[in-house]
Each structure stands twice: as C-alpha cells, then as structure tokens.
C-alpha cells in the first residue's frame, strides 16, 4: 500500500494571473500601462497580439517608457517562445530578489481567434471537408474533435506558463452582452447574457477577474483569494472606483516579497516519450530540463527510445542530458545508438522483410506534382511524402520536419509549409533511401551531405573575401 505523502500549507499568497475584460475602448490596455509605472514592480513586458496599443502607451504615464514591447512574428511558435522566455526571466528575477516581473498580453481574444482560424485551415484539408467544399464552395467547414483537441492543448500549454508565472501576469479579453441561449439551444426572447470572448476556461484559470466599462466603475467579478473572497455567481461583483492593478495586487490580494508562483501539479494521462522529447527541445531553462530528465528516468519511460531532432534513434534520457549540456554551453557530441542497433535490427528477418516491404509501398510522386512547384503542397502529396519518410525510419513529426529543413535548405515549422516542388524533391530522395539496405542510414547520409553543402556555401564568400 502506498505511503500517505503530505506537507503543511505555506499560507503564502501566490502571484496572480489577472483577467481584465470589457467592451471596446473601456481602458483594458491602459490598466497595464498604469501598472508598468508602479515603483513596486520590476521589468514590465507587453506582448501585443493584434491590438496595436503597445507603442503608443509607452510614455503615457510618466513621460518616458515604462515597459518593453515583446517582439514576435505572429506565429504560434514565436508567441509561445516569447512567453516561455518571459517565464524564465520572471523566475530569474525572483531568485535574485528583484521586484516582480510583469507580463501583459493584449489580447487573449485575438489569440483565441488565431487558434480557431488554424483549426479551420487544418480542417479544410481533410478529405471529408474537401469533398463537401467541392460540392458546395460555401459549405460549412466541420472541425473534427482531434483538431479541437490540438487547439485546446496549445491553449493550455500557454495558460500553464501564465498560471505558474513567478510575477504578475495580466491578460486582456473582449467582453460583451449577447442573446441568452436556453437549455434547448434556442434564444430566450427578451433576455441577455454576458460573454467573455476567449477560450471558455479563461475565467476559471484567472486568479482575479476584472470587468471594465465605459460608463461604470471597474468591477471585480470574481477572485480566488482569502482576502478578497468574491465568488462568481454567489457574491455581488465588487465595484471599486478608480481601481488600479497596483492597488489590486498589493493591497487587495496582499502580494509581497514572500509571494510565490502557484504550486500547480498538472493532472491527466501519462505523457508519451515523444511529448517529453518535444518539451525538452522547446526549452532553454535548465530547471525545466532537470524536471524532464527526472520524468524520463521514471520506470514508466525507462529505456524509452525516441527519434531525436537529427532523425536518429536515441534514448530519451540521453537526449535530455545532451540537451542540458547544450543549454549550459558545454560542447556535447551527438549521441547515437550503436550502429548494430539502428536501422531496424538488420539481423532480424521479419524486420528486414518489413523494411523492404515499406520501401515497395512508398508511392511515386504524381507526374503533375512538379508542374506548379511554387504552389503549396496538397494533402495527398504530403501524405505520400510522410509515407516515404516513414519507410526510412523517420516516423515522428519533428524528425520529418528536421529532415525536410536540411534537404530544402530553409527552416519550416510544419510540413504543410512545403511547396509542391519541395515535397516532390524530398519524396524522391526518401524513395531512393528507402530502397537501400539500411534506409535510416541512407537518409541520414543525405541529410548530412545537405547540411555540409549548406555550411560550405555559407563560408565560401568569407573565404573568397579573405583571399581577395
């Protein structure tokens, strides 16, 4: 029987995640600008997601800039990466005893719209939706559950960073009155409801929920706090004239130098080795890597082998240890499994037959695929490419993207960014590799040669200049 594991509560007020929502031009962005001028806070970071207010409000409070604008390229990877970097900076500042870092995201409404658009774009490429659109170009796109699951997983990954932020996190969202919908799914005549335009769990995840209006004082709609104690749906929203986020955080919630991040233990199913690998490749934080290493060494994943970012098989724990050495700046050679253990156990007759069969099953690229090489690759062509790479032992998404990056000479984040010409070229190279005695080794040789050629091309102008 397991031993009961307990600890006493710390009774410390954690740093908050504050939701500020309201109608148009109600002052949501302004509240964060005010907070950034407070002498009680440290470095302030403004992540503008489609609102366009970050530059204008820089000197609005004191006459000189009081925050920094976080730069991103609009992609999910760039946005998430910047939040991860802000999370690491807040952690560093707290460990150094500095005033709390503030992160403002303006707004979560537009971020959620971006994720929904991404879901719709993915769904439009499914066979069922393509057939539906062929019959009726104006037909509704049906988004399947597995795509919605991916959308919510992306959102939750970002929210976990905000909920464990070791400083003050502020997010804005748009809110408005909408027609009330009854239990039968039909509008209720003469009744209105209020809706926060974002992912449905945003209000639950926030520590404090603030509502702004152009014609009323700010209201605290709900708060998870032993000092404020405002329960949404049970207590009246607290009206606070002239409220500022500074007074809310340091007087209302009573945060202070002893505040700590939320002790948030993520619940859910056991993670796969590939998910742990992806987290390790996506972070530069040493403590995060140590936690991932402990997870990789759990008996659940002991001896687990994954395909690393180079397309090679590697023990999960060894990959994370190597990643840790790279992050700390100490050189680490690429670790590969012994040659006799790679390439599908060449001595196993069943495995050899399976590899040969996979090579035969790789479909040839359609002749018309190269006629418009600059057009985006369609789902059929990408499916053929995926099967070709799988036959070479490159089975995971990150590994296939890494192979594609090397062979086309530029960086992409997903195979859907490939052109038709790119997909045909990579597919034919993968076909040739799949017919070799060791397909994985053959594909690795192609990747290594491509990387070597890119390196040679990048150094040639410098060498020419020196000679001149």
The predicted-structure confidence for 218-264, as pLDDT tens digits, reads as follows 999 999 999 988 877 777 888 999 999 999 999 999 999 889 888 87
Inter-residue contact 203 to 196 (CB < 8 Å): yes
Q: Could you tell me the pTM of the whole model?
A: 0.60
The proportion of the chain whose per-residue pLDDT surpasses 70, expressed as a percent, equals 85
Say how far apart CA 168 and CA 249 lie, in whole Å: 8
Residue 442 has pLDDT above 70, yes or no: yes
Say how far apart CA 130 and CA 151 lie, in whole Å: 21
Arithmetic mean of pLDDT, 418-436: 82
The predicted-structure confidence for 307-356, as pLDDT tens digits, reads as follows 888 888 888 999 999 988 888 775 544 434 443 333 343 444 444 544 55
The predicted-structure confidence for 46-71, as pLDDT tens digits, reads as follows 999 988 889 999 999 999 999 999 99
- The pLDDT value recorded for residue 382 is 80
The Cα-based distances of 332 to 319, 322, 375 in angstroms read 11, 6, 40
Q: Would you give the DSSP letter of residue 366?
A: P
The predicted-structure confidence for 22-32, as pLDDT tens digits, reads as follows 999 999 999 99
Say how far apart CA 326 and CA 319 lie, in whole Å: 11
Inter-residue contact 230 to 221 (CB < 8 Å): yes
Arithmetic mean of pLDDT, 110-122: 93
Which residues, including other chains, have CB under 8 Å from residue 289's CB and lie 6 or more apart? 280, 283, 320, 323, 324, 327
| Cα within 13 Å of Cα(72), Cβ side | 23
Arithmetic mean of pLDDT, 372-389: 77
- The pLDDT value recorded for residue 334 is 42
Helix (H) or strand (E) holding 181: strand 168-181
Residue 300 has pLDDT above 90, yes or no: no
Say how far apart CA 88 and CA 279 lie, in whole Å: 15
Long-range contacts of 273-277 (CB under 8 A, 24+ apart): 273/301, 273/304, 273/305, 273/306, 273/316, 274/306, 274/396, 276/301, 276/316, 276/320, 277/306, 277/308, 277/316, 277/319, 277/320, 277/398
| Omega within 30 of 0 (cis) for the link into 107 | yes
The Cα-based distances of 202 to 109, 152, 240, 436 in angstroms read 10, 12, 22, 52
Q: Could you tell me the pLDDT band of residue 371, with boundaries at 50, 70 and 90?
A: low
How far does CA 241 lie from the centroid of its chain?
A: 38
Whose structure tokens read 């600059």?
374
- The pLDDT value recorded for residue 12 is 92
Whose structure tokens read 């929203």?
237
Helix intervals (H) in 164-285? 202-205, 245-247, 273-281
What phi, psi does 368 have (nearest 5°)?
-80, -5
Which residues, including other chains, have CB under 8 Å from residue 436's CB and lie 6 or more apart? 442
Say how far apart CA 307 and CA 106 lie, in whole Å: 37
Which residues, including other chains, have CB under 8 Å from residue 233's CB and lie 6 or more apart? none
Buried b (16+ CB within 10 A) or exposed e, 181-193: eeeeeeeeeeeee
Dihedral sign, Cα of residue 30, residue 35, residue 39, residue 41: negative
- The pLDDT value recorded for residue 367 is 52
- The pLDDT value recorded for residue 350 is 42
Dihedral sign, Cα of residue 169, residue 172, residue 177, residue 181: negative
Inter-residue contact 307 to 318 (CB < 8 Å): no
Dihedral sign, Cα of residue 140, residue 189, residue 26, residue 247: negative
Parallel, antiparallel or unpaired: strands 168-181 and 102-106: parallel
Inter-residue contact 47 to 89 (CB < 8 Å): no
The predicted-structure confidence for 154-208, as pLDDT tens digits, reads as follows 999 999 999 999 999 999 999 988 877 777 777 788 788 888 999 999 999 999 9
- The pLDDT value recorded for residue 365 is 57
Q: Could you tell me the pLDDT band of residue 457, with boundaries at 50, 70 and 90?
A: low
Give the number of other Cβ atoms within 10 Å of residue 82's Cβ: 18
The DSSP result for 415-467, as a single string, is GGG-BHHHHHHHHHHHHHHHTSSSHHHHHHHHHHHHHHHHHHHHHHHHHHHHH
Residue bearing the bigger pLDDT, 114 or 378: 114
Residue bearing the bigger pLDDT, 120 or 1: 120
The DSSP result for 107-141, as a single string, is -HHHHHHHHHHHHHHHHTTSHHHHHHHHH-TTPPP
Inter-residue contact 365 to 381 (CB < 8 Å): yes
Arithmetic mean of pLDDT, 11-29: 93
Instruction: Give me the chain's average pLDDT, please.
Output: 82
């Amino acid at each position: 029987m397991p031993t009961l594991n307990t600890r006493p509560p710390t009774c410390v007020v954690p740093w908050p995640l504050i939701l500020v929502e309201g109608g148009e031009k109600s002052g949501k962005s302004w509240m964060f600008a005010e907070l950034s001028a407070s002498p009680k806070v440290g470095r302030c970071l403004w992540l503008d997601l489609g609102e366009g207010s970050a530059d204008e409000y820089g000197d609005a409070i004191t006459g000189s800039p009081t925050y920094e604008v976080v730069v991103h390229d609009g992609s999910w990877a760039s946005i998430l990466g910047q939040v991860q970097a802000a999370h690491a900076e807040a952690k560093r500042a707290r460990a150094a005893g500095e005033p709390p870092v503030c992160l403002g995201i303006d707004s979560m409404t537009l971020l959620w719209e971006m994720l929904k658009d991404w879901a719709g774009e993915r769904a439009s490429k499914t066979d069922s939706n393509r057939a539906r659109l062929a019959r009726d170009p104006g037909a509704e796109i049906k988004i399947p559950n597995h795509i919605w699951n991916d959308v919510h997983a992306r959102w939750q990954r970002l929210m976990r960073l905000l909920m464990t932020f070791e400083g003050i996190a502020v997010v804005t969202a748009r809110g408005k009155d909408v027609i009330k919908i009854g239990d039968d799914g039909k509008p209720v005549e003469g009744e209105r409801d209020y809706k926060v335009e974002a992912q449905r769990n945003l209000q639950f995840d926030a520590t404090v929920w603030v509502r702004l209006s152009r014609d009323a004082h700010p209201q605290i709609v709900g708060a998870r706090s032993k000092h404020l104690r405002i329960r949404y749906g049970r207590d009246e929203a607290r009206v606070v004239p002239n409220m500022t986020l500074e007074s809310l955080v340091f007087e209302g919630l009573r945060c202070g130098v002893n505040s700590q991040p939320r002790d948030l233990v993520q619940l859910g199913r056991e993670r796969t080795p590939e998910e742990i690998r992806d987290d390790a490749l996506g972070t530069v934080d040493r403590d995060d890597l140590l936690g991932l290493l402990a997870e990789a060494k759990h008996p659940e994943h002991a001896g687990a082998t994954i395909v690393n970012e180079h397309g090679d098989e590697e023990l999960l724990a060894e990959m994370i240890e190597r990643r840790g050495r790279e992050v700390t700046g100490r050189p680490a050679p690429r670790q590969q499994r012994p040659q006799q253990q790679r390439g599908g156990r060449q001595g196993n007759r069943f495995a050899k037959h399976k590899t040969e069969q996979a090579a035969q099953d790789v479909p040839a690229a359609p002749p018309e695929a190269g006629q418009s090489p600059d057009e985006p690759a369609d789902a059929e062509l990408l499916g053929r490419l995926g099967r070709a790479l799988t036959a070479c032992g490159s089975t995971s998404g990150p590994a296939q993207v890494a192979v594609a990056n090397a062979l086309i000479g530029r960086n992409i984040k997903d195979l859907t960014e490939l052109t038709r010409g790119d997909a045909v070229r990579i597919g034919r190279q993968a076909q040739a590799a799949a017919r070799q005695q060791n397909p994985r080794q053959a594909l690795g040789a192609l990747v290594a040669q491509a990387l070597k050629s890119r390196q040679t091309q990048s150094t040639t102008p410098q060498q020419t200049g020196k000679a001149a």
